[in-house]
Amino acid sequence: MPELPEVEVICRGLQNHIIGRRIEAVHCSGKHLRSPVDCTGLSDELCGQSINSLTRRAKYLLLQFTGGAALILHLGMTGNMGIFKKGSKTKKHDHICWTLDNNTELRFNDTRRFGAVHLFPAEEASKGVKAFFAKTGPEPFSRTCSTKYLFNRAANKKQPVKNFIMDSHTIAGIGNIYANESLFRAGINPTLPASSLTEKEWKRLLTVIRKTLKHAIQCGGSTISDFVNASGDGGYFQMNFQIYGKNGEQCRQCQETIQKITIGGRASFFCPRCQNYVD
């Protein structure tokens, strides 16, 4: 489900509901996510603490608590976070539930359990969080993420440009949907070696990535199967997909038939004309 725009939408949607709230209790399903969940640790560290901030970094959510502890959450492929009335009916695959001090509950739901939760106790939180993101690439909207940075980093990389921009160590937050969409909108073939793009092309691609992500955030993200924000509403950026999932359909720009191929094991869509496919 969640790439940068979806995580950003969840983050913004939750902020008003949880910032300043105190954790009263933590309950877990007992099932492991990508790794086992330390429910006792979560409970011991967080109960009685209030939430100071909720921010997004890459596709992660970062919660910081008054006592200094921090929590990093990843939503995997199918994860979501929502606010519910205390004691209301839970859903299948609710795995972690934080009871808040205003008769509500923050719940983490994740069907496929590819999500993750990392707890950083107060003493080691700032160091731990820093180390956690040490290898994470820059945010696409940051100044660090410049045309020059991408161009230089792509030098000598034979890897397809699509994989290159989906690598979180290179640039944060771009997953399969927005990689496909951005490359189409920039008129760049996804299979091209990253090193083959000119500086001018990197400039165009970066501009388009930013524009696409921003637009998607404004649309409330993309809802493919069941993505909903904190209020339970789906996003509608999927209405704006130009290329993702459109194999066999006509290109919106030139009427050529959109092709589907596999790059790096992931479904990839492109227009052979607009994206100048070179075999």
Partner DNA sequence: CAAGTTACCTGACGGC
Partner DNA sequence: TGCCGTCAGGTAACTT
Which residue's CB is nearer to DNA, number 36 or number 48?
Answer: 36
Q: Which residues contact 179 (CB under 8 A, 6 or more apart)?
A: 162, 165, 166, 190
Q: Which residue has the tokens 């008003």?
A: 16
Q: Is 112 in the active site?
A: no
Q: Are strands 79-85 and 104-110 parallel, antiparallel or unpaired?
A: antiparallel
Q: What is the DSSP string of 156-213?
A: T--SBHHHHHH-TTTSSS--HHHHHHHHHHTT--TTSBGGGS-HHHHHHHHHHHHHHH
Q: How far is the CB of 45 from DNA (least distance, A)?
A: 22
| Least distance to DNA, CB of residue 21, Å | 26
Binding site for DNA (CB under 7 A): 1-3, 6, 32, 34, 58-59, 74, 76-78, 92-93, 111-114, 156-160, 163, 166, 168, 175-177, 221-227, 264-267
Q: Which is nearer to DNA, 86 or 260 (CB)?
A: 260
Minimum Å distance from CB 20 to DNA?
28
Is 2 among the residues known to form the active site?
yes
Residue with smaller CB distance to DNA, 26 or 79: 79
Catalytic residue among 256, 266, 272, 273: 266
Does residue 59 carry a catalytic annotation? Answer: yes
CB of residue 24 to DNA, shortest distance in Å: 29
Catalytic residue (choose from 5, 45, 56, 59): 59
**Is 22 an annotated catalytic residue?**
no
Residues contacting residue 234 through CB under 8 Å, at least 6 positions apart: 220, 223, 226, 227, 228
Whichever of 1 and 100 has its CB closer to DNA, that residue is 1
Among candidate residues 2, 5, 160, 190, the one labeled active-site is 2
**Rounded Cα distance, 84 and 16, in Å:** 14
Sequence-distant (≥ 6) Cβ neighbours of residue 257 within 8 angstroms: 248, 249, 250, 251, 272
Distance, CA of 27 to CA of 40 (rounded, Å): 9
**45 phi/psi in degrees, rounded to 5:** -80, -35
- For the bound state, the minimum distance from the C-beta of residue 124 to DNA, rounded and expressed in Å, comes to 18
Instruction: Please report, as a single letter, which amino acid is at residue 16.
Output: N
Comparing CB distances to DNA, the nearer of 76 and 82 is 76
Active site (catalytic) residues: 2-3, 59, 266
